[in-house]
């Protein structure tokens, strides 16, 4: 029984070692990770400048409403 389990485990390990689809999947996962990190970095940089623009607009609108009261 232990020998059969060892044979199945060895067979599965050899299939995994020689299967090129797994390597391609890992490469795609690494590539997607780099792309996602780039998107997140770009969004953070853009988000800061957009936040500054909206803060400036909010401040100007608040001043207009305060002056009109």
57 domain residue, yes or no:
yes
Q: Has this prediction a pTM greater than 0.75? A: no
For residue 64, what are the domain limits?
Answer: 20-68
Whether 43 is covered by a domain: the verdict is yes
What pLDDT score does 8 carry?
78
User: Has residue 59 got a pLDDT over 80?
Assistant: yes
In a domain, 4, yes or no: no
Flag whether 64 is in a domain. yes
* DSSP codes, 18-41: H-HHHHHHHHHHHHHHHHHHHHHH
CA distance 8 to 39: 43
- Give the total number of structural domains in the chain: 1
Question: Does the residue 8 lie in any domain?
Answer: no
The predicted-structure confidence for 12-57, as pLDDT tens digits, reads as follows 767 766 666 667 778 888 999 999 999 888 888 887 788 888 899 9
Note the pLDDT of residue 24: 78
pLDDT in the model for residue 17: 63
């Amino acid at each position: 029984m232990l020998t059969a389990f060892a044979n199945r485990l060895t067979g599965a390990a050899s299939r995994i070692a020689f299967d090129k689809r797994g390597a391609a999947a890992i490469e795609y996962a690494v590539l997607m990770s780099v792309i996602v990190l780039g998107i997140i970095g770009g969004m953070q940089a853009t988000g800061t400048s957009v936040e500054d623009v909206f803060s400036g607009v909010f401040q100007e609108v608040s001043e207009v409403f305060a002056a009109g009261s």
